[in-house]
A and B are shown apart, each in its own frame.
Chain A
Amino acid sequence: MPRFKNRTHILSAIIDAFIKPPDTTTYPFTPIELPHGFRGTVIMIDPEKCTGCSICIRDCPANALEIQRESRERYRLIHYPSRCAYCGQCEESCKNRAISQTNQTVKPTADPDSFIVVFKDTLGEDKPKFS
């Protein structure tokens, strides 16, 4: 048989909650601010620094980076945002600090399989082939 005398705690909590503004936001219609260190999209901030050493590819847990190589200088580094886990390991592993992670969210896409981003391309072919 529930007793009613401890209801005053919850009663004061709900009246307090009613007076204060709500905590939820109507997200797409009001902008939110992401913190500075938020792990968002991965970009290549400086393609000149990339030497094609492939450490990032070896360390990526999700196989989201791939290199198509013809020789030491001619290669193409592509990134699959739909496979990416946004862990930041590539930024951590890159010795030359060529890859970096921003704090922007990824734009959604209706076709994740064909969503690729070319980071550095010295191959010179017209279309990237991907597996």
Chain B
Amino acid sequence: MIMEKITIPIGPQHPLLKEPLSLRISVSGERVLGGELRLGYVHRGIEKLAVSRNYTQNVHLIERICGICSHVHTTAFCTAVERLLNLEVPARAHYIRALLCELERIHSHLLWAGILSKHIGLDTIFMHTWHDRELVLDIMEELSGGRVSHAVNKIGGVRIDLDIGHAELIKKNISKLHDEVEKLLEIIMHDSTIKARTQGVAIITPEEVKQYGIVGPIARASGVAVDFRSDDPLPPYDRLNFKIITQPEGDAWARTVVRIQEVHESMKLCEQILKVIPDGPVEVRARRSVPTGRVIVRAEAPRGELFYYLRSDGTNQPARLKIRTPSLPVLEILTKKLSEIQVADIPVVLAGVDLCIACADR
């Protein structure tokens, strides 16, 4: 075996990565010494583009920041503009937005579970997980017309409505999904291989969570109970009950457990939303030009906290839009965590933290 220091390029193109990222990992034998990270391969200049488009066009631009968490980005943006306009969006619109947010959370976590299993070597669980994800995508396609880009939000409400036929179909599909996902999550939770390969790997302590500003399931897996659905809730989350799931250990297995149990919670939330959704209109007319002001909106994406800062100057184009996505601080701590593991754990760590580089690069 070669024992001197060599550099493995987990380069822009690599089977391990969903999106391009450049990581140069230096290893010696089977121990990882450290890594160098370079971002920017998916940078499209969204914040600059947003300044030269009007608000209606911006809703569609923001949707295309990320494919997996597209709906929650537009929800945050529309909420920001509605707050600047002092608009009272009808309650039914809020519930429809929340339904899609939860469905998105389910499909994002199922995607992540599949990718983790695939990189550990269990191809079968990858295929089965993504099959169940298809059920969620079918529901979203029935609702909104697109599997990945939903185009449901608009400033002032939503563009779709749940009529009776839809609600029955969604309920039927969600209960079918419930049964299938239960079986699958049983397999993942009790699979000794996944547990053996993820336990004790890359522990993130609560102090590091506070120091680096990590949010989302990764923070919750280290015992820090931060969830913006209850800390700073967008309506209707202030009226729904759900649990915040934390685990104390902070290793890769804790992150796995947290995400899997979040899928359970999200399915229960979907059923709850369908039960308590009020009748009424789904949209309200909005003015095109937004008065001067600035607003901050925070939302809970599948990967953590989304932070939107919007400043308007009285025209129909924003003056400044700043987005901070949850994958950025994870990237900063990643190189530090990589120097504590073995080469064989690299896929477990990289796939286990569920990065979304498209979100991080904007």
Given contact pairs A2-B193, A10-B187, A13-B128, A39 touches B151 in the complex (Cβ within 8 A):
yes
A109 CA to B279 CA in the complex, in Å? 44
Chain-B contact segment, one of A43-51, A86-94, A122-130: A86-94
Q: Least Cβ distance of A59 to chain B in Å? A: 5
Given contact pairs A87-B60, A93-B56, A23 touches B134 in the complex (Cβ within 8 A):
yes
Question: Which residue of the partner chain, among A3, A10, A85, A89, contacts B125 with CB atoms under 8 Å?
Answer: A10
Given contact pairs A59-B56, A61-B57, A6 touches B146 in the complex (Cβ within 8 A):
no
Chain-A contact segment, one of B137-145, B257-265, B306-314: B137-145
Q: Is the interface of B mostly helix, strand, loop or mixed?
A: helix
Measured between beta carbons, the chain B residues less than 8 angstroms from A59 are 54, 56-57
> How many residues of chain B get a CB closer than 8 Å to chain A's CBs?
35
Given contact pairs A35-B141, A39-B146, A88-B159, A9 touches B60 in the complex (Cβ within 8 A):
no
Query: Please, which residue of chain B has its CB at the minimum distance from the CB of A59?
Result: B56
Q: Does A60 contact B (CB under 8 A)?
A: yes
Given contact pairs A14-B124, A23-B134, A35-B145, A3 touches B192 in the complex (Cβ within 8 A):
yes
Q: List 18 A-B contacts (CB under 8 A).
A: A1-B196, A6-B190, A6-B192, A9-B186, A9-B191, A10-B187, A13-B187, A17-B128, A37-B142, A37-B144, A59-B54, A61-B53, A61-B56, A62-B60, A86-B146, A87-B60, A89-B151, A103-B145
- 9 smallest CB-CB distances across A and B, nearest first, come from A61-B60, A39-B145, A61-B57, A37-B145, A9-B187, A59-B56, A87-B151, A3-B192, A87-B60
Interface residues of A (CB under 8 A from B): 1-3, 5-6, 9-10, 13-14, 17, 23, 35, 37-39, 58-62, 85-89, 92-93, 103
With A9-B190, A87-B151 given, can you name 6 additional A-B contacts, CB distance below 8 Å?
A13-B183, A14-B124, A37-B143, A61-B58, A88-B151, A93-B56
Interface residues of B (CB under 8 A from A): 53-54, 56-61, 63-64, 122, 124-125, 128, 131, 134, 141-146, 149, 151, 154, 159-160, 183, 186-187, 190-193, 196
